[in-house]
């Protein structure tokens, strides 16, 4: 047992839980609990976006990808940049018109209450499933460190994170993200230096061995529109299309990310946070992939056998080979990533539940009552994620499992959001038809074709948007034009609303 390392991990877990919980003071309403009162600076929001985007899946899964393959995953990161540009142009201006708490209020404004609840429901199911896989990923680390069973490890991390998220809300999420992201990036840098120091010959030897095995290959430009082309997960074309559409969907329509963007003081700071986060993401993914390359060379030099479950590779190496103290810090860093992402998921699931379902019916609820319901919803979703994590213990690759689950419905969400922002004619029925078609097509592709997950969002988006437009040709006359309700229709699909900063008394339900 590494008693010193265990002490470091224990101190960290207690410290971060207490730190997050102390943000409870000053919370008076849902704006404080779900958006941190919109007081966080752009750089903190940017780091919080990175923390949510990387998670434990990145830390334990990305080195495993490079160990068994190459640096091809970086092709997807290029698509991430294009997505951020699209979001800044199309979605952010819409989110900062009026006072909004969730992404799905945009759908209510454009299509009506049924589409709002449909898109919110898709988010709740998808985020819960994907986050359950992420929670399981951290159980791999805890079980290595403590020698506990996977179920006990899952329960431990969920309860600790649930406590400070319950207490501190979004403010706790953002600022614990900043602390925890700083810790796990520092841990990754330390890991890289220490692993490199264990390889005789240093970087020159790594370059020789890894180069001969094509570990530094990034781009795959092969283009042939056949089934083999669409079944390759990491190609330039799949990376650009998959990365762009997936990130546009996750960062533009998924409440986990949109909630962070809405927490900014204004649209400009939100855009700055979003674009700055890409630079950090690129550095992070490169760092973790190179750690995988170093581990490949280390294992090859010593003729070691890699673990059967490659996701255990990096945490096992850290715990069994790094010096006392350093191993504890790096394992604490991995736990930091897990807790940061889990806390964000709990808060976003609770916000969607309360704002898009509960408050949509009980509009006259007091701030105090709404805040109480928000905390109860956080606890309830903690129980749901706990159950899903326990059921996800047989995943082959936690990184790809999480990305696959997230990609299946995201095309339908992105398609209906684009339908709302870019068009005027389609109404509620057409939007619902588009979502149903997009979901059905992608589910069928997942189960009955070898097409890689990197294409799911593109296919789902095009299907949803196209079917929605087609269905609008058959819709009847509009019963109540927007102008009748006193709302002027602009050139785009959404009704014009003043900026939320135009009046401090803006009503989110108006």
374-409: per-residue pLDDT in tens? 889 999 998 888 888 877 666 555 556 666 777 888
Distance CA 471, CA 416 (A): 13
pLDDT of residue 23: 77
pLDDT of residue 489: 43
Highest mean predicted confidence (pLDDT) among 22-31, 69-78, 217-226: 69-78
Whether 43 shows a pLDDT value over 60: the answer reads yes
pLDDT of residue 418: 93
More confident site: 53 or 479: 53
Cβ atoms within 10 A of the Cβ of 18, count? Answer: 12
Arithmetic mean of pLDDT, 172-181:
83
Residue with tokens 């092969």: 222
pLDDT of residue 307: 74
What is each CA distance from 229 to 71, 220, 223, 225, 403, in whole angstroms?
18, 11, 7, 6, 19
Whether 463 shows a pLDDT value over 90: the answer reads yes
Residue 335, token pair as written in the block: 């736990």
Highest mean predicted confidence (pLDDT) among 61-65, 199-203, 352-356, 466-470: 466-470
Question: In sequence order, what DSSP letters do the residues of 311-372 get, joined into one string?
Answer: GGHHHHHHHHHSPTTHHHHHHHHHHHHHHHHHHHHHHHHHHHHIIIIIHHH-TT--HHHHHH
Band of the pLDDT at 226, cuts 50, 70, 90?
Answer: low
Per 3-state DSSP, what percentage of the chain is helix, strand, and coil (rounded to 5)?
75, 0, 25
Residue 96 CA, chain-centre distance (Å), reads: 21
Whether 502 shows a pLDDT value over 70: the answer reads no
Beta-bridge partners for 55: none
Q: What CATH number should be reported for the domain holding residue 380?
A: 1.20.1730.10
Band of the pLDDT at 126, cuts 50, 70, 90?
Answer: confident
- Residue 489 belongs to a domain: no
Whether 496 shows a pLDDT value over 50: the answer reads no
Under a CB-based contact definition with an 8 Å cutoff, are residues 332 and 12 in contact? yes
pLDDT of residue 151: 77
- Residue 291 belongs to a domain: yes
pLDDT of residue 510: 34
- Residue 504 belongs to a domain: no
Arithmetic mean of pLDDT, 140-164:
76
Phi, psi of 278 (to 5 degrees): -65, -40
pLDDT of residue 343: 83
To the nearest whole number, what is the mean pLDDT of the chain? 81
Instruction: Look up the domain containing 147 and give its range.
Output: 3-393
| DSSP conformational letter for 495 | P
Domain count, the chain: 1
Whether 118 shows a pLDDT value over 80: the answer reads yes
pLDDT of residue 229: 65
Give the dihedral of Cα atoms 231, 234, 237, 240; nearest 10 deg: 130
Under a CB-based contact definition with an 8 Å cutoff, are residues 490 and 109 in contact? no
% of the chain exceeding 70 in pLDDT? 85
Whether 189 shows a pLDDT value over 80: the answer reads yes
Lowest mean pLDDT among 119-123, 267-271, 421-425, 452-456: 452-456
Band of the pLDDT at 315, cuts 50, 70, 90?
Answer: confident
Arithmetic mean of pLDDT, 105-121:
90
Nearest residue to 178 (alpha-carbon basis) of 24, 46, 279? 46
pLDDT of residue 395: 56
- Residue 401 belongs to a domain: no
Residue with tokens 């698509």: 79
- Residue 431 belongs to a domain: no
What is each CA distance from 483 to 480, 489, 491, in whole angstroms?
8, 7, 13
pLDDT of residue 86: 92
């Amino acid at each position: 047992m590494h008693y010193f390392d265990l002490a470091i991990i224990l101190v960290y877990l207690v410290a971060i839980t207490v730190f997050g919980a102390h943000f409870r003071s000053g919370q008076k309403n849902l704006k404080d609990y779900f958006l941190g009162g919109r007081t966080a600076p752009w750089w903190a929001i940017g780091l919080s976006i990175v923390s949510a985007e990387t998670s434990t899946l990145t830390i334990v899964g990305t080195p495993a990808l490079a160990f068994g393959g190459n640096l091809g995953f970086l092709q997807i990161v290029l698509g991430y940049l294009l997505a951020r540009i699209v979001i800044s142009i199309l979605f952010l201006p819409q989110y900062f018109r009026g006072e909004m708490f969730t992404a799905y209020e945009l759908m209510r404004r454009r299509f009506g209450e049924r589409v709002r609840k449909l898109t919110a429901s898709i988010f709740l199911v998808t985020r819960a499933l994907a986050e359950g896989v992420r929670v399981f990923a951290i159980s791999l680390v805890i079980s290595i460190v403590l020698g506990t069973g996977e179920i006990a490890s899952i329960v431990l991390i969920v309860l600790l994170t649930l406590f400070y998220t319950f207490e501190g809300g979004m403010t706790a999420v953002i600022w614990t993200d900043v602390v925890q992201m700083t810790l796990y990036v520092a841990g990754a840098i330390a890991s890289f230096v220490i692993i490199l120091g264990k390889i005789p010959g240093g970087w020159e030897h790594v370059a020789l061995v890894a180069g001969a095995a094509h570990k530094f290959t990034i781009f795959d430009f092969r283009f042939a529109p056949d089934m083999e082309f669409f079944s390759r997960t990491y190609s330039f074309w799949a990376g650009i299309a998959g990365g762009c559409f997936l990130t546009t969907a996750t960062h533009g329509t998924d409440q986990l990310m949109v909630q962070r963007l809405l927490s900014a003081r204004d649209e400009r700071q939100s855009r700055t946070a979003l674009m700055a986060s890409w630079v950090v993401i690129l550095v992070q993914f490169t760092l973790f992939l190179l750690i995988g390359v170093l581990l490949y060379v280390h294992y090859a030099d010593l003729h070691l056998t890699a673990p059967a479950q490659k996701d255990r590779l990096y945490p096992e190496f850290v715990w069994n080979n790094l010096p006392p103290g350093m191993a504890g810090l790096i394992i604490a860093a991995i736990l930091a990533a897990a807790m940061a992402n889990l806390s964000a998921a709990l808060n976003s699931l609770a916000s969607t539940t309360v704002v898009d379902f509960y408050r949509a019916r009980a509009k006259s609820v007091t701030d105090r009552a709404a805040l109480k319901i928000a905390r109860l919803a956080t606890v309830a979703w903690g129980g749901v994620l706990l159950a899903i994590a326990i059921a996800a213990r047989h995943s082959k690759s936690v990184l790809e499992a999480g990305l696959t689950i997230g990609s299946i419905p995201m095309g339908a969400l992105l398609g209906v959001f684009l339908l709302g922002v870019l068009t005027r004619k389609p109404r509620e029925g057409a939007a619902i038809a588009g979502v149903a078609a997009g979901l059905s097509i992608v589910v069928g592709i997942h189960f009955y074709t070898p097409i890689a997950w990197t294409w799911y969002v593109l296919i789902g988006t095009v299907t949803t948007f196209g079917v929605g437009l087609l269905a609008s040709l058959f819709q009847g006359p509009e019963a109540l034009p927007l102008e009748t309700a006193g709302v002027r229709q602009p050139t785009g699909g959404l009704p014009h609303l003043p900026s939320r900063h135009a009046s401090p008394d803006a009503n989110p339900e108006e």
